[in-house]
Amino acid sequence: MGRGKGWGSVEGKPKAYRIRYTVAGKKYTGGRTFATIGDARAALAKIHTSVMDGTWQPPAVVKAEAAKARAAEAARSVTVAEASEKWLAWKGAEHTRRSGRVVPGLRESTIITYRSRIKANALPWLTPDGVPFGELAISAVTQEHVDALVKSLQAKTSRYSDKGNGVASWVAANLRQMFDDAVYLGWLDAVPTVPQPLHTAVREKDDQDDYVATRDEVEVLYEAMPDRWRLAVYLGVWCQLRLGEVLGLRRQDVRWTKGGKPSAAKDADAATLLVRTQISTKTGKRGPLKTKASRRDLAVPARMLDALRGHLGSHTEPGSGSPILTSVSDRSEPLPSSVLDRTWRKVQRAVMGRDDFTFHGLRHTGLTFYGQLPGVTFAELQNRVGHSDPKVTMRYFHPSSERDRELAALL
């Protein structure tokens, strides 16, 4: 039986009274029962007061706001370590920024880098109270914590130098992003100010840096590699490919021609590599290239045509999507970067006796050779480098004593 109050009413029986009311022509219920009619009328009067003073909100809105507040409170109770994982998951998926713009998630390799920096350098740091930073509730992080953490990061030394390290600025930048987003997501009320150290290179240059192998060394390295993977040496030097690009090459990425026209590999007198994808050395997955400039077509030098042809015939599956360098256990899968890198390091140490000549050194060697060719232009070298930054291209104009004598003879 209803007991009217003009704009609202109380219905039901003892211990089960309900209220109904109308606002702006729309009917609502109280959403709960009341034990006494007095309690029900008091609730109805409270709603009437909020309608009159303009503070009333529809029950659905009130419910949503309460849920949001509970979620925010739960988020505030998570630790910094837990919050960092939630933040990385958010950054890795499509999300809406503070401006309202929807942006795609970061690459998986980038997320791995961020996680590694935070996990190795920030989370283990001990607060003045002896609590690991990662175990603090994110809502308990103070400005004093952040200042002390960054100061300790700056005090770390590198294996390359006792004057500092190259990681402090990157970790600080990631923490600043995380705290800023935490405020936006409701996990924090205010963002701590994260000091930003200047990024400086700590590895001192010496005569071993940027080592350029000789042509004879390249041939010895090629012969010393296992037969099924030795083509990687030529691809790194003579085609100047990055490690991920070498691993990402497929049979379909080789275009054979004869007299400038498409041809079968056995009859061809030229070949072009279409650099279109790479295998991430962090995730092991095929993905886009490093930059737009990395997408390029590279003429294969005549000196390695037979090696390329022979490799495709002996070590690559016939399908167009088959990787050129294959895994030992499954030739339909690309060779893992860790396997190639481990094999390469072992071979180059045995051949050259060096610890500093990484697989990337092959690319650097090849680009240096290319940069020393008579008449080569900056634009031509830029295309070969596959990098948008001209400063990077300039690194490969290395003078050689032989080239210097040639130029001196022209004076």
pLDDT at 188: 84
If asked whether residues 136 and 176 sit together in one domain, one would say: yes
What are the φ/ψ torsions at residue 120 (nearest 5 degrees)?
Answer: -85, -30
Q: Are residues 25 and 138 in the same domain?
A: no
For residue 106, give every residue at least 6 positions away whose Cβ sits within 8 Å of its Cβ, in sequence order, or none: 91, 92, 114
Single residue among 144, 161, 184 that ends a domain in this structure:
184
Own/partner long-range contacts of 1-7 (Cβ < 8 Å, ≥24 apart) = 3/37, 5/41, 5/44, 5/48, 7/48
Measured in degrees and rounded to the nearest 5, phi and psi for residue 254 equal -110, 120
| Same domain for 39 and 180 | no
275-308 burial by CB neighbour count: b if 16+ within 10 A, else e? bbbbbbbbeeebeebeeeebebebebbeebbebb
**What percentage of the chain reaches a pLDDT higher than 90?**
51
Position 2 scores a pLDDT of 47
**What is the rounded (10 degree) CA torsion for 239, 241, 247, 253?**
-50
Verify that 315 and 398 share a domain, yes or no.
yes
260-315 per-position pLDDT tens digit: 999 999 999 999 999 999 999 888 899 888 888 899 999 999 999 999 999 999 99
Q: Is residue 206 a part of any domain in this protein? A: no
pLDDT at 4 (0 to 100): 45
Give the pLDDT confidence score for residue 151 in this predicted structure.
92
Q: Assess whether 299 and 169 both reside in one domain.
A: no
356 and 241 in a single domain? The answer is yes
The verdict on residue 328 lying in a domain is yes
Q: Which residue has the higher pLDDT, 405 or 363?
A: 363
Q: Identify whether residues 93 and 235 lie together within a single domain.
A: no
Is 279 a member of any domain?
yes
Q: How far apart are CA 405 and CA 220, in angstroms?
A: 27
Same domain (yes/no): 38, 110: no
User: At a CB cut-off of 8 Å and minimum separation 6, what does 87 contact?
Assistant: 178, 181, 182
- On whether both 21 and 84 belong to a single domain, the answer is no
Over residues 175-200, the pLDDT tens digits come to 999 999 998 988 888 888 998 887 76
Into how many domains does the chain fold?
3
221 and 233 Cβ atoms separated by less than 8 Å: yes
Shared-domain flag, residues 175 and 255: no
User: Do 400 and 275 lie in a common domain?
Assistant: yes
Structure tokens at 384: 């070969």
Domain with 49 in it: 3-56
Give residue 302's identity as a one-letter amino acid code.
Answer: A
pLDDT at 208 (0 to 100) = 41
> Which of 9-13, 145-149, 337-341, 401-405 shows the lowest mean pLDDT across its residues?
401-405
Q: In this predicted model, what pLDDT tens digit does every residue of 69-107 receive, in sequence order?
A: 776 666 667 899 999 999 999 999 999 888 889 999 998
Mean predicted confidence (pLDDT) in 350-358: 88
Q: What is the pTM of this model?
A: 0.66
Provide mean pLDDT across the span 364-374: 89
CATH number at residue 309: 1.10.443.10
Judge whether 141 lies within some domain. yes
- The average pLDDT across 119-144 equals 93
Q: 88 and 49 share a domain?
A: no
Say what the pLDDT of residue 411 is: 65
**Between 88 and 65, residue with greater pLDDT:** 88
Helix axes 168-184, 143-155, angle to 10 degrees: 160
Q: How confident is the model at residue 6 (pLDDT cuts 50, 70, 90)?
A: low
- Whole-number Å distance between alpha carbons of 16 and 61: 25
Provide the pLDDT for residue 405.
67
The three state secondary structure string of the chain is CCEECCCEEEECCCCCEEEEEEECCEEEECCCCECCHHHHHHHHHHHHHHHHHCCCCCHHHHHHHHHHHHHHHHHHHCEHHHHHHHHHHHHHCCEECCCCCEECCCCHHHHHHHHHHHHHHHCCCECCCCCEHHHCEHHHCCHHHHHHHHHHHHHCCCCCCCCCCCCHHHHHHHHHHHHHHHHHCCCCCCCCCCCCCCCCCCCCCCCCCCCCCCHHHHHHHHHHCCCCCCHHHHHHHCCCCCHHHHHHCEHHHEEEEECCEECCCCCCCEEEEEECCEECCCCCCEECCCCHHHCEEEECCHHHHHHHHHHHHHHCCCCCCCECCECCCCCCCECCHHHHHHHHHHHHHHHHCCCCCCCHHHHHHHHHHHHCCCCCCHHHHHHHHCCCCHHHHHCCCCCCHHHHHHHHHCC
